């Protein structure tokens, strides 16, 4: 696996791949890699001739400086994992390679920025779209791979791609879970054993909603699930909603073609999100 540190090296490499007519699969990450990321790499390898991943803890998408400072980082271990997954190239830029001082970015995300993670983490999706647009411009991947766990992020990146007419196909990979159901996340590394037990309530609640989706109303599903979550000690529920999966508008009807349940909660210092497709 070749490690690329500068934008110039990255773009030279991309130029060579394109000259050889190789399709490029891109897996952007912020490191602290887990099985979820590695399954994206493996899928990219199956679908494209070469795979480029990136490791960059993007400061512009953190609205809380403490969260940025505490974000888990382990570059040496990440590189081993990427090598083992047969990733071809990894881009690990320094911040000065990515941003010029006082750089300005605003992308009109509209409604999708005014709900759920958009309101809980003001500015987060501005930072995400800012970095993803740069990486897409530099790499011009044929397919970019994202995890379903960050479903709202996926929809916003889809909007970014459509707005700028970027020639990239997006792939939303199903969430990879630990054996206890907990959605894999880099933030799980910061949970202690007790918090990990509490965190499982999130996926259990989503699985329950899915199991009863056919026989209960959305109103009943939500009120039962919300009361279970709000009665879980040490779990601070941020939201639990059932939405049209194309727009993330909340729905009380089962008529939308694709329906998703989304949840977010804080357990101790750690904020976790998860979701499940109820109808597709």
Burial 224-253 (b: 16+ CB within 10 A, else e): ebbebbeebeebebbbbbbbbbeebeebee
Question: Which span sits near ligand PAF by CB under 6 A: 27-35, 89-97, 243-251, 269-277?
Answer: 27-35
Environment class of 141 (CB within 10 Å of its CB; exposed 0-12, middle 13-18, buried 19+): buried
Cβ distance to ligand PAF smaller for residue 13 or 153: 153
Residue 30 engages ligand PAF in binding (rule: CB under 6 A): yes
- Quick one: 117 or 259, whose CB is closer to ligand PAF? 117
Which residue carries 């904020």 as its tokens?
Answer: 271
Of the pair 131, 235, the CB lying nearest ligand PAF is at: 131
The yes-or-no answer on residue 37 being catalytic is yes
Which residue has its beta carbon closest to ligand PAF? 28
What gap in Å lies between CA 172 and CA 104, rounded to an integer? Answer: 29
For the record, the structure tokens of 73 come out as 């980082």
Token couple for 125: 């999706």
How many residues does the structure list for the chain? Answer: 280
Which listed residue (131, 161, 166, 242) binds ligand PAF by CB under 6 A?
A: 131
CB closer to ligand PAF out of 21 and 100: 100
Site for ligand PAF (CB under 6 A): which residue of 28, 36, 118, 141? 28
DSSP state of 250: B
Task: Catalytic residue, from 34, 37, 124, 173: name it.
Answer: 37
Report, as residue numbers or ranges, the catalytic residues.
Answer: 37
Applying CB under 6 A, the residues found at the interface with ligand PAF are 28-30, 58, 61, 128, 131-132, 150, 153
């Amino acid at each position: 696996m070749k490690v690329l540190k500068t934008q110039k090296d990255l773009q030279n490499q991309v130029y060579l791949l394109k000259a050889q007519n190789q399709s490029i699969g891109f897996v952007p990450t912020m490191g602290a890699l887990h099985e979820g990321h590695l399954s994206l790499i493996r899928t990219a390898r199956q679908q494209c001739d070469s795979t480029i991943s990136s490791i960059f803890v993007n400061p512009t998408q953190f609205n809380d400086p403490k969260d940025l400072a505490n974000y888990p980082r382990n570059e040496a271990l990440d590189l081993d994992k990427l090598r083992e997954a047969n990733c071809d190239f990894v881009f690990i830029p320094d911040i000065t390679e990515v941003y010029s001082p006082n750089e300005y970015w605003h992308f009109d995300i509209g409604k999708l920025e005014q709900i759920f993670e958009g309101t809980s983490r003001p500015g987060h999706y501005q930072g995400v779209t800012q970095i993803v647009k740069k990486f897409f411009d530099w790499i011009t991947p044929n397919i970019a791979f994202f995890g379903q766990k960050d479903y709202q992020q996926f929809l916003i990146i889809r909007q970014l791609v459509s707005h700028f007419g970027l020639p990239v196909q997006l792939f939303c990979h199903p969430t990879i879970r630990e054996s206890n159901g907990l959605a894999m996340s880099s933030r799980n590394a910061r949970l202690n054993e007790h918090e990990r037990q509490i965190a499982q309530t999130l996926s259990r609640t989503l699985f329950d909603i899915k199991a009863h989706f056919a026989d209960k109303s959305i109103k009943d599903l939500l009120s039962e699930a919300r009361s279970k979550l709000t009665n879980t000690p040490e779990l601070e529920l941020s939201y639990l909603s059932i939405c049209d999966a194309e727009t993330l508008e909340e729905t009380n009807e089962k008529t939308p073609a694709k329906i998703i349940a989304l949840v977010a909660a804080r357990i101790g210092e750690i904020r976790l999100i998860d979701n499940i497709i109820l109808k597709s």
